[in-house]
Structure 1
């Protein structure tokens, strides 16, 4: 072997040895990383083994020398603390992608040694603390830190060395508040800048125009003020511009129309003004969101020529003129909301021409003409809302029966004609609002086949003839308003089958016959108005079992005795000269006209009824005994598996063995609820969910409110949602879920038991007088902290969507817990983080106004509902009471009493002591801010907690009450 050959062999051996050493070191680093991680994605790290080639590991890429250059473990369900301290020993590492996991811990300053990194993505995780200085990472081109719970001061000065950055994504982190950082506008290579919701304040600097490579600019949910700088028109490559939910003022700058590459523009919820003429040249727009501003003038007719425009939201502005007649005709149009403007003219006929439209919302304008026939064929339409306009004519027959429609709102117009039999095809229709029109003729029998209906408002029309008995098929109906029409004939007995009905108004019609006794079987009925009809006969004794906030039977032809338990409803029986009472002074006193014979007959009837009740009770007792025996056998046969979420002192046998009749405290189709007392005296609430449940859940004395569950291949979405949400939440003011116990056919949810019941029970019962202001204050603060945690302390914001006093439970010390997550929605980080749902959830009286018509849901909806709860605490009133008037709620009532200090003091609950009334007014101020009409004006729950703490009794808070914020 020649010397040259020996040298080559020796060199090759040396290089191979070095490669082996490097490979061995890098293998060990990767194995150390694996040992620090957990994953909910089985098998993802199985290839990471000691005796394997590390370049074949899942997510690992090497160069030709077997040195690791990339690690991509994004979206792999990882948790634990990532060992960043050893990461920089991978000398050739250029890319690290860990986004969309659940990694935690802090980021060490050692990261500054990874000087070769060009790509760093650790966004959408659960880190803590601040992000360290990264001045030495001068090669960085992509930096994703968004939505990872970083806090403190961001090292903005580090950006001075990161001149190669193409993507800078820092949004959705609670950094310390800072003016718009000047270092950002020096990054001339930026293509993507995401600074939304990371505490940026002040003006957008004119130097933003120097970032001419920008394709995406997002600075939403911040504290931006001032005008949009004219220099922004230099960003001719912009495709997406989002500056919503700030306090920007002024007009769109001249030349804004030159940004012709824009596809998405969202400047909603600001104070922008002027006209929209600058937008008429933005022909590539796909989505335009300018709602809740002060824009005026006409909508450019050119919008009708845009071939890609699918979403248009312009509601709550001062726009005038007509909608472009060709709007939506050239694109796969999806959504329009131009409500609360001053628009005139007709509805454009072709917005559903391509058969893709889902929502048409044009409420509160001055539109004229009729509904184009084309919308009767729009099979994709889910929401059609045009109330408070001047529309007229007959409704296209097909509109009543659209297969996917969930809301039809035609109220306060001049529509005429009838509801056609097509409504039988509307299987998803949940709300039908037709009040204040000229609809006439008979209500079709087929309305009972629209089985999803929960709200029907037909008031102030010209309907006539009989009310169809098929109404009784609507098992989920909660509100039925038929007042001020010409309905005649009997009230159908079948209405007593609408077991969810809470409001029934049939006043001012021509109804005759007797009041059905079946109305007394409606367990949730809260308001009953049958006044101004031609009803006769006696008042059914069954009405005595109802807990009504409103009862009005006046101006009929009723006769006989007013039931003793109803005599407290003052004025409810006026105009019925045939009635008598032993307690109401304005009525004739009841006397016996048939002497002892009648008394004997009554006595015999009482005995007969007593025997019947005794026999029925015996039958029911035997039935439940048989059911319990059968249920016990079923429970014993089932194979149960337990999944615990907290430390438990019980087993599944303790729980399963307690599912018996004597422990039942609530029964219904979604689940029976049992109170379980363990051997150590600890109390639990257990919900037993059967797979085949179909009837309606009725609550008895259960102190926790649970969602109504529907069957969905054995495990309902609501069940999965509540378990998913509650099992992962740990907070003093959120109800505890200890475990779930499941079998093939059933599921048990085991909760803490709250003995004081709900805040609603305490506030609106005889116990209210014992609820002092200090206790009310503590309840408000605790509940606010619970909601603050859901919005700000969880891995992603959780929107409750049904915040109300009955979902705030109290322990033995009146400490509050937020409960009932059946409607909760975890916000997905998708297209800006705003969720839209076409199903209007929540409870009337607590729902934010924008949710009622736009179905746009974010944390501010919960803030609004919580503000209503605060008003309940201060006033002691229910959100809806007859005293407030037709279609009015507690907010209207409060707003009308803010004219003077005396009137404000007058609305404070009389049970609050004089020394605390000023403190109660402080809380009222917080409530008014929470219930601002525009979502952008409402504080976050984090701010609400701070304001409530500042409103602690005997402390001052400088917030001025203004009717304008209502």
Structure 2
């Protein structure tokens, strides 16, 4: 090289070195400014992630920042940092070398702006599990993108499927659990992404058939399309995805059989196609030797369960309930791996129970109810200490229960009902400390009830009806403080009913009928505060009916066919209880015509009541003559709905201390305390100081008159009682529960429907939580309100022959008395489930926005689980202090979505707790939040019954503990809703 050439190269090199030195500080300064803008936009007071983000440090040493060898920022890694705020994409995408944005599982909100299109070097974009709003912008410029994760982030509107055509490098696509606009068909653009190995599209409004072209995605290992609106058959092409280890298709409307070739998916480990309309046999699944989880419940499959399933060496979860399967279970089923649970309930299966499903001691659920299984419970299950649910009811099983099963420490539910079991309940039942439900009804069990049952401290329900038990009820039964229902009907129990039964303070239902109990009815039963139903019929009880029972608010009382004597207490001398006293020749009553009149001594206490009744009758006559005067007076009071002069029809449902004139005179504007969609509410103060609430329900005539319509059609329209009025009367006239509002009577005329209730001075729970009248409520009071309201709903769902569904459960329909005890109120939308218990269809969406269960919007089918969802929203209100709909939740988001977005860590969950709740009780609030999340599961079958909700609330009674319970997102059901804790939570609930 010549000297001249050398100097040329030297000069050029010097120029470039000088240029780099000049440019580098500018580059560093620009990157610092852009990251500073990000820091100021999303900084969180409780995180120290930004402590290194200062001018004294190099950008490449910032926490969460990765640079290339030239000092350019290539990665922003800040997941799960509790960051909240709006991302400044103009600054972020100013980092021209940026290849990765990982900020998932934070509290980010706002929208993704069009500035994202400038991040042209991006290979990874992970913003999943946040609280964004609005649409996802076009992604067509992000051609290098390999990973796109936007699941569970609050997006809505149309998704830019078209732009995916440019993203040919995509290998990981996760868009599930967003409220995108419903597609007209399965997005065809997805079928061109042949590098995909992960595709998560659950619950993002995809509609149509799964196309045959899905076979193009041969690299797929995970395919999740659950919770969408897919229909039609599973395409045969899916059998070409030989690398699939997980396939999730549940909760769609898929039909037809498994296609030929489906068995080619030999890598499949987890398969869930439950809650569809699939049919045919399961033979195509025989080659799937690696299956660990198989969920096909709630379909229409037929035929036998293949014997090859008994050779599945990795199987842990097996759920096929509610199909039409026949034949026996493979006898080797579950004997190889750490088998966790089986639920094959509600099929037509036969044969014996496989003996080795708990061979490795990990089984938690054995649910085979409502089949035709025969034989005995295998002895091997006596060693299955892990079992939590043992449900074999409605089969043809026989023999004695193996020793050891009664005392299993983790059993929560034992349901052996409706079989042919025999033998005793052994004393080791006292070791079953977790047992809540013991159902042995309709079997041939015999022997005495062991006294050790009183040590089973978690018992909520004991059902031993229609067996051959004998002996006495243990005197220690009063130790069962959580016992809610006791059914011993149709056995051979004898001796006296123990006084200690009155110590079971949670009892709501007692049925001891059809035994040989003798002696007096214990006075102590009158001290049971929540007792709703008492059936002691067909025994040998004697003596008088205790006066203490008059304190009870019973909806059902049956003392028939005993040897009782003396007068029937006045509070029970109602037509509703008449049949409950028959078959007792010694009983008397002045009011019940089926009983002999009481002698002078026996009826002295009734004379005053008879005299008062005569006075009331006289007043009724006076009211008829005063009708015209009353009408004029009401018009002068300028009522919203003047009451028409007419004859009044008053129906009483309780013993009253007032008449209709006392009520009607008080229906005036100055007594108005509330207005609703169906009428006004007035406060009435009687002369004796007692207070009433009167609901004046508008009718066709009264509304016409208020509107001053004068057409002849309107003037001649005959009045009929409104559906709301009929619903409330039909429901509440039969209700007797401390947590349901009392209906005293109804008063009707040609254009006036009045319902007279007890007055509750502390208003509604809504008012106390959210309105200008809100008060600072401590956790103990909130818990008490939740527990009481739950018991009221439990009574409506379980306290009648057919469940009463409220259909408008919300905090404004939970009223509070002077002691802040809750009452379920407003039954204008109530429905009574018809025989068969499958719910009712309605042609309108009843209820209140924010409380309506999601399935109601598209099925219009009413059942108890709809009320459970609404009650879960109320629980969330109590925990968070938030209203069901708040602007901060984002567009089209409610409190359920908001709470579920906070379940990533202990810290973020704690933030949802109302600041008015003391720190010492926040752990208890977290426990209630867990219950609320279970109640608001998207799949109704996964929601607990109200009876179970009551039990769960009793389990979380405040103990002033400072520990915090972290809500697990998967088990709670806020993410992918699948049965992962033991199959259907209660297939017969």
Q: TM-score, normalised by structure 2?
A: 0.66
User: C-alpha distance in 1, partners of 2:399/2:476?
Assistant: 27
Instruction: Map 1:639-678; keep pairs closer than 5 Å.
Output: none
2:527 aligned partner: 521
Deviations 1:639-695 (A, max 9, x none): xxxxxxxxxxxxxxxxxxxxxxxxxxx99xxxxx996999xx9644554457xx9xx
User: C-alpha distance in 1, partners of 2:400/2:897?
Assistant: 39
1:958 aligned partner: none
> Residue 861 of structure 1: which of 932, 940, 965 is its match?
940
Instruction: Map 1:600-611; keep pairs closer than 5 Å.
Output: none
455-464 or 587-596, which moves further after superposition?
587-596
> 3-state DSSP class of the match of 1:25?
helix
Cα gap change, 1:806 to 1:383, in 2 (>3 Å): closer
How far 1:698 sits from its partner (Å)?
Answer: 7.0
> 3-state DSSP class of the match of 2:447?
strand
> Residue 233 of structure 2: which of 227, 233, 240 is its match?
227
How far 1:10 sits from its partner (Å)?
Answer: 4.4
Cα gap change, 1:71 to 1:801, in 2 (>3 Å): farther
User: C-alpha distance in 1, partners of 2:809/2:578?
Assistant: 41
> Residue 493 of structure 1: which of 492, 495, 499 is its match?
499
> Residue 170 of structure 1: which of 154, 169, 175 is its match?
175
Cα gap change, 1:585 to 1:804, in 2 (>3 Å): farther
Cα gap change, 1:594 to 1:411, in 2 (>3 Å): closer
Considering only aligned residues, what root-mean-square deviation do their CA atoms show, in Å? 4.2
> 3-state DSSP class of the match of 1:571?
helix
- 1:579 and 2:587 aligned: yes
User: C-alpha distance in 1, partners of 2:856/2:42?
Assistant: 27
> 3-state DSSP class of the match of 1:224?
strand
Work out whether residues 47 and 82 of structure 2, in 8 Å CA contact, stay in contact via their aligned partners in 1: no
User: C-alpha distance in 2, partners of 1:706/1:754?
Assistant: 19
How far 1:763 sits from its partner (Å)?
Answer: 3.9
> 3-state DSSP class of the match of 2:375?
coil
- 1:262 and 2:262 aligned: no
How far 1:13 sits from its partner (Å)?
Answer: 3.4
- 1:245 and 2:310 aligned: no
- 1:591 and 2:599 aligned: yes
2:561 aligned partner: 555
Cα gap change, 1:121 to 1:289, in 2 (>3 Å): same
1:129 aligned partner: 134
How far 1:12 sits from its partner (Å)?
Answer: 2.5
Work out whether residues 35 and 91 of structure 2, in 8 Å CA contact, stay in contact via their aligned partners in 1: no
1:290 aligned partner: 296
User: C-alpha distance in 1, partners of 2:104/2:79?
Assistant: 5
How far 1:15 sits from its partner (Å)?
Answer: 1.5
> Residue 851 of structure 2: which of 779, 786, 791 is its match?
786
1:477 aligned partner: 483
Deviations 1:236-286 (A, max 9, x none): 001111111111111101111111100000000111111111111111111
- 1:58 and 2:63 aligned: yes
> Residue 300 of structure 1: which of 299, 306, 319 is its match?
306
User: C-alpha distance in 1, partners of 2:490/2:110?
Assistant: 64
How far 1:20 sits from its partner (Å)?
Answer: 2.1
Instruction: Map 1:228-627; keep pairs closer than 5 Å.
Output: 228-568=234-574, 569-592=577-600
How far 1:45 sits from its partner (Å)?
Answer: 1.8
> 3-state DSSP class of the match of 2:422?
strand
- 1:74 and 2:153 aligned: no
User: C-alpha distance in 2, partners of 1:187/1:80?
Assistant: 33
Cα gap change, 1:329 to 1:215, in 2 (>3 Å): same
How far 1:17 sits from its partner (Å)?
Answer: 2.9
Work out whether residues 462 and 485 of structure 2, in 8 Å CA contact, stay in contact via their aligned partners in 1: yes
User: C-alpha distance in 1, partners of 2:31/2:277?
Assistant: 55
Deviations 1:210-259 (A, max 9, x none): 11000011111111111011111110001111111111111101111111
- 1:213 and 2:219 aligned: yes
Cα gap change, 1:503 to 1:734, in 2 (>3 Å): closer
Cα gap change, 1:827 to 1:698, in 2 (>3 Å): closer
Gapped regions of structure 1 (runs ≥ 5): 600-665, 668-672, 709-731, 737-750, 766-776, 793-798, 832-851, 869-934, 937-965
2:910 aligned partner: none
How far 1:383 sits from its partner (Å)?
Answer: 0.5
> Residue 760 of structure 1: which of 799, 804, 824 is its match?
824
2:100 aligned partner: 95
User: C-alpha distance in 2, partners of 1:270/1:302?
Assistant: 24
How far 1:824 sits from its partner (Å)?
Answer: 12
Deviations 1:901-938 (A, max 9, x none): xxxxxxxxxxxxxxxxxxxxxxxxxxxxxxxxxx99xx
Cα gap change, 1:808 to 1:237, in 2 (>3 Å): closer
Cα gap change, 1:294 to 1:130, in 2 (>3 Å): same
User: C-alpha distance in 2, partners of 1:540/1:73?
Assistant: 70
How far 1:482 sits from its partner (Å)?
Answer: 0.7
Q: TM-score, normalised by structure 1?
A: 0.68
User: C-alpha distance in 2, partners of 1:495/1:221?
Assistant: 48
User: C-alpha distance in 2, partners of 1:344/1:499?
Assistant: 42
> Residue 37 of structure 2: which of 29, 32, 39 is its match?
32
> 3-state DSSP class of the match of 2:74?
strand
User: C-alpha distance in 1, partners of 2:410/2:783?
Assistant: 26
Cα gap change, 1:425 to 1:825, in 2 (>3 Å): farther
> 3-state DSSP class of the match of 1:400?
coil
Work out whether residues 488 and 511 of structure 1, in 8 Å CA contact, stay in contact via their aligned partners in 2: yes
2:795 aligned partner: none
User: C-alpha distance in 1, partners of 2:791/2:541?
Assistant: 38
Larger relative CO (CA 8 A, sep 6+): 1 or 2? 2
How far 1:194 sits from its partner (Å)?
Answer: 1.2
User: C-alpha distance in 2, partners of 1:80/1:213?
Assistant: 37
Work out whether residues 869 and 935 of structure 2, in 8 Å CA contact, stay in contact via their aligned partners in 1: no
How far 1:817 sits from its partner (Å)?
Answer: 8.2
User: C-alpha distance in 1, partners of 2:404/2:415?
Assistant: 15
How far 1:116 sits from its partner (Å)?
Answer: 0.7
User: C-alpha distance in 1, partners of 2:428/2:190?
Assistant: 59
Cα gap change, 1:110 to 1:52, in 2 (>3 Å): same
- Number of aligned residues: 710
Work out whether residues 675 and 685 of structure 1, in 8 Å CA contact, stay in contact via their aligned partners in 2: no
User: C-alpha distance in 2, partners of 1:296/1:60?
Assistant: 57
Cα gap change, 1:111 to 1:818, in 2 (>3 Å): closer
Work out whether residues 801 and 862 of structure 1, in 8 Å CA contact, stay in contact via their aligned partners in 2: no
User: C-alpha distance in 1, partners of 2:131/2:303?
Assistant: 46
Deviations 1:723-761 (A, max 9, x none): xxxxxxxxx99759xxxxxxxxxxxxxx99999997734
Cα gap change, 1:103 to 1:459, in 2 (>3 Å): same
Cα gap change, 1:417 to 1:477, in 2 (>3 Å): same
> 3-state DSSP class of the match of 2:239?
helix
Gapped regions of structure 2 (runs ≥ 5): 608-737, 740-759, 793-807, 830-841, 858-864, 886-893, 905-930, 948-976, 979-988
Work out whether residues 789 and 823 of structure 2, in 8 Å CA contact, stay in contact via their aligned partners in 1: no
How far 1:8 sits from its partner (Å)?
Answer: 3.8
How far 1:704 sits from its partner (Å)?
Answer: 8.4
Cα gap change, 1:309 to 1:104, in 2 (>3 Å): same
> Residue 196 of structure 2: which of 190, 211, 227 is its match?
190
User: C-alpha distance in 2, partners of 1:143/1:817?
Assistant: 33
1:139 aligned partner: 144
> 3-state DSSP class of the match of 2:469?
strand
User: C-alpha distance in 2, partners of 1:94/1:221?
Assistant: 32
How far 1:471 sits from its partner (Å)?
Answer: 1.6
2:22 aligned partner: 17
User: C-alpha distance in 1, partners of 2:70/2:359?
Assistant: 59
